Amino acid sequence: MNSLSQYLELYRVNSADIDNHSCAVMNDARKSAYELLCDAHLPRKGEEGYEHTDLEALYARDYGVNVFRMNFRADVAASFHCDVPNMSTLLGVVVNDVFRPSRMLLERLPEGVTFMSLREAAESCGDIVKTFYGSLADGTKPSVALNTLLAQDGVLIHVKRGVKLEKPLQLVNIFNSPTSLLALRRVLVVLEEDAEASVLVCDHTQTADTDYMADEVVEVSLARGASLNYYHIEESSARTTRHAHMFVRQYAGSRLSLGSLTLTCGDTRNEYSIDLTEPHCEADLSGMVIGSDNQHVDNNVSLRHLSGQCRSNQIFKYVLDDNAVGNFDGRIFVAKGAALTDAYQTNRNLLAGSSARMHTKPQLEIYNDDVKCSHGASTGQLSEEALFYMRTRGIPEKEARTMLMQAFMADVIDRVRPQELRERLHLLVQHRFAGHRGASCADCSSSCKDDLISPIAE
> What pLDDT, on the 0 to 100 scale, is given for residue 339?
97
Kindly list the distances between the CA atom of residue 353 and the CA atoms of 282, 293, 399, in Å, as whole numbers in the listed order.
37, 10, 16
Distance CA 238, CA 266 (A): 4
> Rounded to 5 degrees, what are φ and ψ at 398?
-60, -45
pLDDT at 46 over 80: yes
Residues 161-176 have a mean pLDDT of: 95
Q: Are 122 and 201 in contact (CB under 8 A)?
A: no
Residue 318 pairs in a beta bridge with 289, 349
Distance CA 170, CA 325 (A): 29
Distance CA 310, CA 371 (A): 10
Q: Are 311 and 340 in contact (CB under 8 A)?
A: no
> What pLDDT, on the 0 to 100 scale, is given for residue 171?
96
Distance CA 126, CA 275 (A): 25
36 SS3 class: helix
Mean residue pLDDT of the chain comes to 91
Q: Which helix (H) or strand (E) holds 79?
A: helix 76-79
Top-confidence residue, 75 or 239: 239
Distance CA 152, CA 19 (A): 7
Residues 302-329 have a mean pLDDT of: 97
Largest CA distance in the chain: 70
Distance CA 314, CA 303 (A): 10
**Percent of the chain's residues with pLDDT above 90:** 78
- Please list, in sequence order, all residues whose beta carbon lies within 8 angstroms of the beta carbon of residue 107, skipping any fewer than 6 positions away: none
Distance CA 344, CA 348 (A): 13
Residues 352-371 have a mean pLDDT of: 95
Choose among 146, 290, 274: nearest CA to 213: 146
What single-letter DSSP state applies at residue 251?
-
Q: For 20-38, how does the pLDDT look when each residue is reduced to its tens digit (9 = 90+)?
A: 999 999 999 999 999 999 9
Cα 372 from chain centroid? Answer: 28
Distance CA 452, CA 449 (A): 5
Q: For 425-445, how does the pLDDT look when each residue is reduced to its tens digit (9 = 90+)?
A: 888 898 898 875 444 443 443
Q: For 89-118, how does the pLDDT look when each residue is reduced to its tens digit (9 = 90+)?
A: 899 999 999 999 989 899 999 999 999 999
Choose among 155, 181, 298, 164: nearest CA to 228: 164
Distance CA 249, CA 183 (A): 25
Work out whether the CA dihedral 272, 222, 231, 377 comes out positive or negative.
positive
What single-letter DSSP state applies at residue 110?
P
- The CA-CA-CA angle for residues 160, 163, 164, to 5°, reads 135
Choose among 242, 104, 253: nearest CA to 168: 104
Counting Cα atoms < 13 Å in the Cβ hemisphere of 28 gives: 10
Counting Cα atoms < 13 Å in the Cβ hemisphere of 416 gives: 25
Q: Are 157 and 189 in contact (CB under 8 A)?
A: yes
Count the Cβ atoms, other than its own, within 10 Å of residue 367.
12
Burial of 183 (0-12, 13-18, 19+ CB in 10 A): buried
Q: Model-level pTM?
A: 0.93
